[in-house]
Structure 1
Amino acid sequence: MELRDAARQLYGVDPSSFMAERSRLAAEARSAGEKDLAKRLTGLRKPTVAAWVVNAAVRDRPDLLDDIRRLGTELRGDHDDVELRELGTERRRLIARAAREWAAAAGERGTAVSEAVQRDLESTVQAALIDAGAAVALDSGMLVRPLSANGLDAIDVSDAVALPEIADEAREAQGAPDAEVIEFRPRSRSGTSTAKETDRARASNDRAASDRAALDRAAGRLAAAERELEEARSELADLRDRLHELDGERGRLETEIDDLTEQLEGAREDLARVDRERGELRRRRTHGERAVTDAERRVNRLTPE
């Protein structure tokens, strides 16, 4: 069994089955003598709801994944202002469509998607479109948390994917010649203007940039808090699942103890009965031995010499 194949199988199951499937795969590895593989499987993290929705979509909706790959490649090319505006429009539409259709597919499978998860889906598609490494992480179908990008720095997916090998592949993709991270900022318009107008425009742009930066920081903090909340909920669900398993195991053990206690009581009663019978037989044996001895003596007396 290969770790990557087992992990891909694990991250394809529904969240409610994740713990049981992980235990099954680890037990299968241990039975095959692959202790290191079993240990690595046991350490795989349960994905958040948003990550699971994306992982399921990678398997179930390859058409959307193809669109994301294609548009991401186009966006990382060289374009003029008109082309960038057209691609930007297509980017926004694709982000909305992918998040909407992925959420609907999750709902059909019984998992409701909240507004926070919906935003995480949009953020993940956005990241995959503008960053080649994030696209690799998305393609793997083994996310443990959603992705996000600020459009300025390469995305570190180390803690967002199940296996470090995938993070290595993402870093390699980010180092490719066409893998620069795209910054979506309006280009400045050329032309003549007075120094005063230029100063006013620069000040306005500075204020707008400062406002955008503040909004970006606030959005980043909100996204991080929502991810922490989702991870905490996921961890709590894991704990509840494990507690439920332990409750069931405890119930089975209590039943076994009751059965063994009943068997022990029965064995004790049998032992007492056997001891009583042995005592009675010993008394009868002693009486018989005496009777034989007395009879032998009588026979000896009556026998002529």
Structure 2
Amino acid sequence: MDDALAAVVARLYAVPPEEFVAVRAAEVARARQARDTRLAAAVGKLRKPTVAAWLVNLLAHERPDLVGELLELGEQLRDAQRELRGGELRELSVRRRSTVAALAREAARLAGPDRGNLPLPEVENTFAAALADATVAAAVQQGALTKSLEYTGFGETPRPQLRLVQGGEDTPRTGTVTAKRSAPTQDDREQRAEARRREEERRRAEEERARAVRQARRELMTALQQLSDAETAKAEAERAVAAAGKAIASAEKRVKIAQDALADLS
């Protein structure tokens, strides 16, 4: 990629996906105005990224230092895997999980506070794939992904089995390198155990939320019934007060009549 195209890519893949088409058209027009037909054709072929891919690209362009740290960690992980350094691999695996999560959060922060429902799991999967495979790492560092990536089966042998899955449309590239599948590593087992633990926590949280919702509804119905009963009692009391007032007025009238009659007799 020449410098001119690289500069356009850096600008284009850092803008939100909803602005991509308009910005690409402007870049094509600028290249044509400069009579650079080759650049205009190359820019016109650039594909719109998904939101997840845009978040990864955004981090690559705005925080290349963090992406550099990610790639360095990936090299350390692959070295430890190849040389079967179990203790170091376990320590690096802990760093891997925290690093991937931190990078996804930073990408979301760069996207701005108005962005909701961001596909952060897809972003984390892409960063995890970059840690597992140097080719993916180079693509992430370039900051021109159009789709999120997923690495199936962490671990590297002299000829690793690797499958990159790029979901959605307009997939720019897929790569498959096949070899004998290695036995599950300690890290694989830890990942599966962690996934099971998270799923169990999610299930328990959903059950607890459902119980809380049911309890809140019961309390609401009870409160509404109590309010209805209180309003009925108030209405009955008001009617009783009104009836009592009429009875008092009638009695006072009779007392007055009786007093007048007694005065006449006297």
- TM bracket, shorter-chain basis: 0.5 to 0.7
Aligned to 1:76: 78
Partner letter of residue 95 of structure 1? V
Query: Could you say what secondary structure the match of 2:71 adopts?
Result: helix
Tell me the distance in 2 between the aligned counterparts of 1:107 and 1:36.
35
1:51-200 correspondence runs (5 A): 51-77=53-79, 78-108=83-113, 110-114=114-118, 117-151=119-153, 153-156=161-164, 185-186=184-185
Q: 1:83 deviation in Å?
A: 1.5
Aligned to 1:12: 14
Task: Pick closer, same or farther for the CA change 1:183–1:16 going to 2, 3 Å.
Answer: farther
Task: Pick closer, same or farther for the CA change 1:51–1:183 going to 2, 3 Å.
Answer: farther
Q: Is the 8 A contact 1:126 1:149 kept in 2?
A: yes
Q: 1:158 deviation in Å?
A: 9.0
Q: 1:183 deviation in Å?
A: 6.9
Q: What number of residue pairs does the alignment pair up?
A: 175
Tell me the distance in 2 between the aligned counterparts of 1:154 and 1:4.
28
Task: Pick closer, same or farther for the CA change 1:62–1:41 going to 2, 3 Å.
Answer: closer
Tell me the distance in 1 between the aligned counterparts of 2:134 and 2:117.
27
Length-normalised TM-score, structure 2: 0.56
Q: 1:35 deviation in Å?
A: 2.6
Q: Is the 8 A contact 1:107 1:113 kept in 2?
A: no
Tell me the distance in 1 between the aligned counterparts of 2:146 and 2:117.
16
Deviations 1:32-89 (A, max 9, x none): 2233332222221111101111111112223321220121010111242211111111
Q: 1:112 deviation in Å?
A: 2.3
Q: Is the 8 A contact 1:48 1:145 kept in 2?
A: yes
Aligned to 2:5: 3
Aligned to 1:219: none
Query: Could you say what secondary structure the match of 1:2 adopts?
Result: helix
Aligned to 2:255: none
Deviations 1:90-133 (A, max 9, x none): 1111112111222232233x33243xx11101101100001000
Q: Is the 8 A contact 2:64 2:141 kept in 1?
A: no
Q: Is the 8 A contact 1:131 1:155 kept in 2?
A: no
Tell me the distance in 1 between the aligned counterparts of 2:182 and 2:146.
26
Q: Is the 8 A contact 1:134 1:157 kept in 2?
A: no
Task: Pick closer, same or farther for the CA change 1:104–1:4 going to 2, 3 Å.
Answer: closer
Partner letter of residue 92 of structure 1? R
Tell me the distance in 2 between the aligned counterparts of 1:13 and 1:134.
22
Q: 1:143 deviation in Å?
A: 0.8
Tell me the distance in 2 between the aligned counterparts of 1:184 and 1:69.
25
Q: Is the 8 A contact 1:106 1:113 kept in 2?
A: no
Deviations 1:155-207 (A, max 9, x none): 558999x997xx79x99xx9xxxxx9x979335xxxxxxxxxxxxxxxxxxxx
RMSD (Å) for aligned C-alpha atoms:
3.5
Query: Could you say what secondary structure the match of 2:162 adopts?
Result: coil
Q: Is the 8 A contact 1:48 1:144 kept in 2?
A: yes
The more displaced of 138-147 and 88-97 is: 88-97
The more displaced of 26-35 and 130-139 is: 26-35
Q: Is the 8 A contact 2:10 2:61 kept in 1?
A: no
Deviations 1:235-261 (A, max 9, x none): xxxxxxxxxxxxxxxxxxxxxxxxxxx
The more displaced of 117-126 and 36-45 is: 36-45
Name stretches of at least 5 consecutive residues in structure 2 with no aligned partner: 154-159, 196-266
